[in-house]
């Protein structure tokens, strides 16, 4: 652990207190083994019901300091917590170690009851890095001015805020017309995001390290509209063929912005990647089997 001297900790605010404290104690033990006095958390992270001695191990710093100075982050929560952190840290490829305090977790792969063993593996250097592709999404107005710019790990989606009539969407790839869709929306996903909303909409499961992007229609009106897989260097643009009300572009399912009829959504590969720490012995298809009952009858 010589490369990690400023370790940050991020946790889900409403996580189970017992599981959180179990994780905090394991991290405290690991800090002692690593010769560190404390881990770091940023100031607007909510307080938790941890005991006084544990609280001393987690020093508060500003969110900006956290973002700019930590060299490894332990995430305690679910995939949503990790997605938020990935966006916050997108300017720096800081290694992230995810611990799952909930149920379904593809990114936070280590279950809380194995955190001590996993931290021991990290201490012994028995881990690898899993570099995940990210997306950069921009909303542009009629003057080609950027209205919104976000970097995400899972997906960028155009859909409606409420149940209503289907939308008429136009898709271009690398500047050339690709397809029109009459559907409830359209998803552009990374391989990491292929097991999120895209999977629920009928998209394929894509191995995380594959260098591709996926475009998946949401409830298409035509049976000929199918999910497509593109080279990761493709530049994807989505626009509305006619005016629709209450259309939004959402980023990782956590940030939503109004998408007006004169707007275009441009999505492409980000220059940044997310570096996930994987203890030795963690395999993707085992995660699929555990989380999705993959291959079971």
List, by residue number, the catalytic residues. Answer: 79
Q: Within 13 A of 104's CA, how many CA atoms are on the CB side?
A: 7
Going through 32-166 in order, the beta strands assigned E by DSSP cover: 39-42, 58-61, 72-77, 96-100, 110-111, 127-140, 146-152, 155-160
Expressed in angstroms, the distance from the first to the final Cα of the chain is: 42
Bridge-based pairing of strands 72-77 and 7-11 is parallel
Bridge-based pairing of strands 176-183 and 127-140 is unpaired
Is the separation of the CB atoms in 275 and 122 below 8 Å?
no
Calpha distance 42→167 (Å, rounded): 41
Residue 122 token pair: 């990290």
């Amino acid at each position: 652990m010589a490369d990690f001297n400023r370790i940050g900790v991020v946790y889900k605010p409403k996580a189970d207190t017992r599981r959180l404290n179990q994780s905090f104690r394991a991290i405290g033990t690991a800090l002692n083994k690593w010769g560190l006095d404390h881990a770091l958390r940023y100031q607007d992270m909510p307080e938790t019901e941890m005991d006084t001695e544990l609280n001393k191990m987690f020093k508060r710093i500003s969110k900006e300091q956290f973002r700019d100075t930590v060299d490894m982050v332990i995430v305690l929560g679910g995939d949503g917590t990790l997605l938020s952190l990935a966006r916050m840290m997108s300017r720096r490829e800081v290694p992230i170690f995810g611990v799952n305090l909930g149920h379904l977790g593809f990114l936070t792969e280590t279950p809380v009851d194995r955190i001590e063993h996993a931290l021991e593996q990290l201490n012994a250097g028995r881990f690898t890095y899993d570099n995940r592709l990210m997306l950069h999404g921009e909303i542009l107005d009629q003057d080609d001015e950027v209205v919104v710019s976000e970097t995400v790990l899972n997906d960028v989606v155009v859909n409606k805020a409420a149940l209503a009539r289907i939308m008429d969407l136009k898709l271009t790839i690398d500047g050339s017309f690709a397809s029109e869709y009459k559907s409830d929306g359209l998803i552009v996903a990374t391989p990491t995001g292929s097991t999120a909303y895209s999977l629920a909409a009928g998209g394929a499961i894509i191995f995380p390290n594959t260098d591709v992007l996926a475009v998946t229609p949401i409830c298409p009106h035509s049976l000929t509209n199918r999910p497509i897989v593109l080279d990761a260097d493709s530049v994807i643009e989505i626009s509305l063929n006619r005016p629709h009300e209450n259309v939004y572009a959402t980023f990782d399912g956590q940030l939503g912005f109004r998408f007006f009829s004169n707007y275009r959504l441009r999505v492409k590969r980000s220059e940044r990647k997310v570096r996930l720490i994987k203890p030795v012995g963690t395999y993707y298809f085992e995660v699929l089997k555990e989380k999705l009952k993959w291959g079971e009858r």
